[in-house]
Structure 1
Amino acid sequence: MSGVWAGVRERVLALRAAPNRRAVFGAYFQEYGHRFELRPVLTEEQIGAVEWRRGVAFPAEYRGFLLEVGAGGAGPDYGLFPVEPVEDAAPYAYGTNASPPPFRPERTAEWEEHQSAEPQRSAYGDTAGEAERFREDHAAWDARDDELLEGLTDGALYVSEQGCAYYTLLALTGPERGTMWHDARAAAEGVVPVEFVGGTARVTFAQWYVHWLTNAERRAWEQAGA
């Protein structure tokens, strides 16, 4: 191994023996805990088949993680979602599958603007015709709201679950490719960038994962009760 992922798999697996491992959030939570286990790594061919099936090339850091650390398992929050090998994609060729649309975080502002324009019954008259017009306008607004809300995560990959319907995304396409985002639609906040305390720059997949690992090691290797 080389680069950012050198030794990372071994560091993660070593946490299974750490004295305070259960204090790390998400590691031991009923059936959802990742218990510091990692799935086997994937081969270049397996990753290529998955990319072909999904119509996108993974960002380099995420691709390196799949090759050198594991195809899911231990990680931030409740761990990383697994990437299953594609059994029936060979032979395959790049460019033959449809590519996903670009990831556009500015859609959140568009969705918020749409939210503020929700038709209100009080703005319509009291006649039956006005009531019907309100219903039609609101139905059209509601359909557009669903469309905008669904499109917020276009071009992104769900990589982990934070709990309570919050998720973490990796941008696969567009200018933000390779950066990490919170899917906070459950709190009506749309999609917002992952940020470290005091930081201003975008966070990449490797930065996000290694930041978690460093903090998990600090917590797990503390003596219980310290």
Structure 2
Amino acid sequence: MTDRWWAGLRRRVEAAGAGPGGGEVFGAFGHRWVVEEPLTLGELAELEAQTGVRLPEEYRDFLLHVGAGGADPAYGLFPVRRVRGGWRWEGDGADLADLSRLAEPFPDRGPDPKLLDDLLAQCPEEECFDDIEDFDDAIEAWDERGDAVLFAPERTVGAIAICHLGCAQREWLILSGSHRGTVWSDCRADDVDLAPLLNDDGTPVRFDRWYTDWLDKAERTALSAP
């Protein structure tokens, strides 16, 4: 896609934010339709040198021609900023990404499904306990075992969290490995494993499609007459 196309995307976001229904778009009260200034080529080079990975092309173009973060699906695209001499993404859950491991390939496979099934089968049942405190302790221990599997640090190497949907649900952009450039859903807080977002034809959703699909829908609400 051309530089002009990306620049036009920023203008579309700004127009939607100024529309009569802009405040009705989900998440608008979080991002307030603000789009941060784009990165310069020098800043992008500095970011990629620090992380040791070349960002996916669509996301690079977005950072250079649209903005470093701001208005986007849900509560806003986590902005990437220079903080105390280093670069980092900021937002609710952005710190889940290990910036020292972004060049490592994102895993092709998640946990063994049998392991997850066994964990669910081991969920304590309240009627099996005489003391409610013992039940609470058992549930806490069971949650910790599950989190150790689902939230193991190696599960999200090579990826960054890019937005949150509320209730600890997030979406990730894959930077390295065979899934590079695709966007994944993260509902692990609800015991649902990481999964790629899919187009209607079953192909993985890439960053540009992820953003423009949101904007197309947001415009229908934001630009409609009250």
- Would you call these one fold, judging by a TM-score over 0.5? yes
**C-alpha spacing 1:177/1:221, structure 2 compared with 1 (3 Å):** same
Distance apart, 1:56 and its partner CA: 1.6
Alpha carbon RMSD of aligned pairs, Å?
A: 2.8
Tell me which amino acid in the other structure corresponds to 1:67: L
The match for 1:85 is 82
**1:101 and 2:104 correspond:** yes
Distance 1:105 1:27, change over 3 A: farther
What is residue 206 of structure 1 aligned with on the other side? 208
TM-score w.r.t. the length of structure 2 is: 0.76
1:53-132 equivalent positions in 2, closer than 5 A: 53-85=50-82, 88=85, 100-108=103-111, 110=112, 112-118=113-119
Which residue number corresponds to residue 20 of structure 1?
21
Instruction: State the aligned residue count.
Output: 195
Residues 27, 74 of structure 2: 8 Å contact kept: yes
| Gaps in structure 2 of 5+ consecutive residues | 87-99, 125-140
Does the 8 A contact of 1:46 with 1:86 survive in 2?
A: no
AA paired with 2:38? V
Distance 2:84 2:145 in 1: 38
Specify whether residues 116 and 67 from structure 1 end up closer, same or farther in structure 2 by C-alpha distance, changes over 3 A only: same
Instruction: Indicate how the Cα distance of structure 1 residues 120 and 7 shifts in structure 2: closer, same or farther if over 3 A, else same.
Output: closer
Query: For 1:207 and 1:121, how far apart are their aligned partners in 2?
Result: 39
The amino acid of 2:203's aligned partner reads: A
Alpha-carbon separation, structure 2, partners of 1:27 and 1:120: 41
User: Sequence identity, in percent?
Assistant: 39
Contact 1:181/1:194 (CA < 8 Å) preserved in 2?
yes
Please, what TM-score do these two structures have when normalized by structure 1?
Answer: 0.76
Q: CA deviation at 1:176?
A: 0.5
Change beyond 3 A, Cα 1:171–1:27: same
Letter in structure 2 aligned against 1:71: A
Q: Alpha carbons of 1:163 and 1:98: their partners in 2 closer, same or farther (altered >3 Å)?
A: closer
Instruction: Give unmatched runs, 5+ long, in structure 1.
Output: 90-96, 123-138
- Considering only CA atoms, is the larger Rg found in Structure 1 or Structure 2? 1
More strand by share: 2
